[in-house]
Structure 1
Amino acid sequence: MENEHLPSVVIVIPHCNGKEILLRCLESLQNDGYDGKRVLLVDNASTDDSVIESRKAYPWLEVLSLPQNLGFSGGVNAGIRHAEADIIVLLNNDTVVSPGWLQPLVDALESNDHVAAVQPKLRSWFDKELFDYAGGAGGEIDRWGYPFCWGRIFTTREPDNGQYSQARSIFWASGSASAWRRSAIMDAGLLDEDFFAHMEEIDLCWRLHMMGYDVRYQPGPEVYHCSGGTLSEEKLRKKFLNHRNSWIILIKNYRWGNVLKTVPLRLLLDLITIPYALVFWGDIKRVLAIVGSWFSVLFGLPRWLRSRKIVQQLRTVPDEIVLRRIYARSVAWQYFFRKIKFAKELPW
């Protein structure tokens, strides 16, 4: 293939502070074996010297400096708009890539115009034999907005024993490491910046499914992720954003009939979670996050409904088709009451 026919690739890394994790990520990119890529660091108003030191160490690094912290979604969107490329690769600043990781993702996008996003295998940096919390071997979601991964359900992560070594369609690709067809995500409206952080890639993938695109998992050389390197899982804000944003996803993307069918049981599941979190986990932050998400969704409802109107205008595929890609049972019920901990054991 002649060089002029190769797709242009830009890796977009949103960043806000953290010199050591960023330098480690950039070192792995320098040695990843993929020539011709550009690397764009989107600096969300860092206050440390991480950007200065990274530029010194890696002169090939491009930097887009933002005047304020726009969050993951705002930073990524700024990077996508800035990067004129066929393929956008989203990569967290707390990841480490393996040599050869990128080529299979680019090939998967190039081989099928209906594929909008591709995720590699994500494993934990801290426990390298385990799948990573933020993406595992590709993401799924149930009817009530609870996401999970092949390799991780809630807090249970599987060891990677080669059980997810086949390429497959998935519902969502992790924003921690994934390659995206830029034309598709521009048409879909980019990430929803009202999310600020967490689950915005799931929302984007739902829109892509509504537009007739496929999302894929492509096994190959792993990407290692320091989950929580930027925002710890234990922090109240992270739990709040996860709960709130999962509600917004349902309101925005389902047809009204399915919204009305889904909301009552989702509310019941949240109500069950509250005493469970207090009695068995002693997790008051979880309770505060759940209750806070309800009020945030209610007070922000006019905004979410305006966003919903825009999203529904993108639809070319009915809910009946999209629902075939969504787990029809409650993953929370399967996990907490039937004690099914691994995705491969779930009844589909």
Structure 2
Amino acid sequence: RCLTALRAQTHPLQQIVVVDNGSTDGSNEWLANQPDVTLIRRPHNEGYCRGYNLAIDATRAPYVLTLNTDAYLDPEFLSSCLVAMEANPRCAAATGQFDEQATGLTIGGGFGLGRLMRMKPTDALEDQAEVFGVTGAAALYRRDALENAKIDGQVYDECYFSYGEDIDLAWRLHLMGWDSLYVPAARAHHVGSGSLNGALRFFDKPSFFQRQALRNRYLTLLKNARGFDGLRLLLAMALGECALWPYLLFRQPLRFPALLQTPVELLVRFPRVWRWRRITQQRRDRHAGSIRRWIRGW
């Protein structure tokens, strides 16, 4: 369905690249027989970030469409995003409605802080609007913006593996002076957690993925937040952790020892994350406090 929807786009695609991250269900054999697909095979699962970086580097078009295998697009998705981005030269990324839901990223969803930290939504689903960032599940990116955002040759930070990497990229693009758009005429459908048998809720996911989600929230803040705003974000998250960790211990006691590896993983990644932070801040073209207008109650 994902590939069928791509082939049905009213604006033709120059190239379709699929990264097979060590699948064992025979799908790579089927993909190898698709004449319009460039297949990149990996021996094992190297993570969402590594897979997308390989795919982006394998293309040369001025725009890059990222699409999860558990998402599919209406025929006008690509053309609608292209029209909006061509009219806005500083637009780095665009996305549309997912199953009749606006899909500008929410810091509440990605950071687990509920109402306190939720990004402001668009005013109405009918109106095109600037958003803080877009979800990587289905988004059109300007290549120039992605090249500008690369650090160590990576668009997505591969130390994330998966989860929260699109928030990190959105924040980096925002700080570097790029904009993102919500385009209501572009419609997509996202099954969600297709590779995890539909485990949509945090508490239903395997501990390996829970650990990544917990860890990557801090990585994103450490790399992108500054000054008083960064302190407030970290304090707000710490308050949330005071409730989250006892709940995890009560609800999933057998997984709890594995989840306790999260602080260790943060410490191991800290030198790299701090270097990425320095590079991001050196390239910054916006005041760090510009994020305030996207956060409720700020």
Q: Structure 1-normalised TM-score?
A: 0.73
Question: 1:287, CA displacement in angstroms?
Answer: 5.7
Identity %, equivalent residues: 29
Distance 1:163 1:309, change over 3 A: closer
Structure 1 108/173 Cα, relative in aligned 2: closer, same or farther at 3 Å? same
**1:54 CA displacement:** 2.6
Q: Bigger shift: 296-305 or 174-183?
A: 296-305
**Is 2:211 the counterpart of 1:240?**
yes
Tell me if 1:139 matches 2:105.
Answer: yes
C-alpha distance in structure 1 between counterparts of 2:73 and 2:143, whole Å: 21
1:255 aligns to 2:220 (yes or no): no
**What is the CA-CA distance between 1:295 and the residue it aligns to?**
3.1
Alpha-carbon distance in structure 1 between the residues aligned to 2:263 and 2:296 = 24
Which residue in the other structure is 1:176 paired with? 137
- 1:156 is matched with none
Q: Which amino acid aligns with 1:310?
A: I
Alpha-carbon deviation of 1:148? 7.8
String of CA shifts for 1:206-254, please: whole Å, max 9, x gaps.
Answer: 0111011111111124211121111334222222211110111110111
- CA-to-partner distance for each residue in 1:32-63, whole Å, 9 max, x for gaps? 3322432111222333321221343x321122
Determine helix, strand or coil for the equivalent of 1:139.
coil
Is the 8 Å Cα contact of residues 97 and 222 (structure 1) preserved in structure 2? Answer: yes
Query: Does 1:31 pair with 2:8?
Result: yes
Output one character per residue of 1:1-60: Cα deviation in whole Å (capped at 9) or x when no partner: xxxxxxxxxxxxxxxxxxxxxxx211222223322432111222333321221343x321
Q: C-alpha displacement at 1:170, in angstroms?
A: 1.4
Are 1:296 and 2:257 an aligned pair? no
Q: Deviations over 1:44-92 (max 9, x none)?
A: 2333321221343x32112223354321111111111120110000000
What is the correspondence of 1:276-287 to structure 2 with a 5 Å cutoff?
276-277=247-248, 282-284=251-253
1:316 CA displacement:
1.5
Query: Which piece of structure 1 moves more, 90-99 or 265-274?
Result: 265-274
User: In the alignment, what sits opposite 1:45?
Assistant: 22
Distance change in 2, residues 1:185/1:272 (3 Å): same
SS in 1 for 2:195: coil
Partner of 2:236: 265
- 1:167-208 deviation digits (Å, cap 9, x = unpaired): 111122111100000110111111111101111111011011
Q: Which residue is equivalent to 1:121?
A: 97
Q: Secondary structure at the match of 1:195?
A: coil
> Which residue of structure 2 aligns with residue 62 of structure 1?
38
Residue pair 2:103, 2:134 contacting (<8 A) in 1 also = no
1:166 to 102, 127, 141: 127
CA distance in 1, matches of 2:164, 2:27: 26
The letter for the 2-side match of 1:168 is: A
Partner residue in 2 for 1:198? 163
C-alpha distance in 1, partners of 2:148/2:178?
A: 11
Native 8 Å contact 1:140 1:148 kept in 2? no
1:88 and 2:64 matched: yes
- What corresponds to 2:147 in structure 1? 186
Name the CA shift for 1:147/1:269 in 2 (closer, same or farther; >3 Å).
closer
> What RMSD in Å do the two structures reach over aligned CA positions?
2.7
**Cα distance between partner residues in 1 of 2:75 and 2:149:** 31
The answer to whether the 8 A contact 1:121-1:138 is kept is no
Matched ranges for 1:74-85 at <5 A: 74-85=50-61
Contact kept? 2:112, 2:240, Cα under 8 Å: no
Local SS of the residue matching 1:178? strand
> Which deviates the most, 110-119 or 232-241?
232-241
Change (3 A) 1:163 1:258: closer
1:322 matched to 2:291? The reply is yes
Distance in 2 between the 1:302 and 1:278 partners? 30
Aligned residues: 281
Which residues of structure 1 form unaligned runs of 5+?
A: 1-23, 124-129, 154-161, 330-348
Q: 1:285 and 1:83 mapped to 2: Cα distance?
A: 44
Per-residue Cα deviation, 1:289-326 (whole angstroms, up to 9, x for no partner):
76443332134322221222222222121112232233
Q: Distance in 1 between matches of 2:114 and 2:135?
A: 11
CA distance in 2, matches of 1:117, 1:295: 34
Q: Which runs of 4+ in 1 moved over 6 A?
A: none
Contact 2:127–2:184 (CA<8 Å) still a contact in 1? yes
The TM-score with structure 2 as length reference comes to 0.84
For the structure 1 residues 191 and 110, does the alpha-carbon distance in structure 2 shift closer, same or farther, using more than 3 Å as the test? same
Residue 258 of structure 1: CA displacement?
3.7
Cα gap change, 1:256 to 1:94, in 2 (>3 Å): same
Structure 2 distance, partners of 1:229, 1:263, is 31
Q: Distance in 2 between matches of 1:225 and 1:285?
A: 31
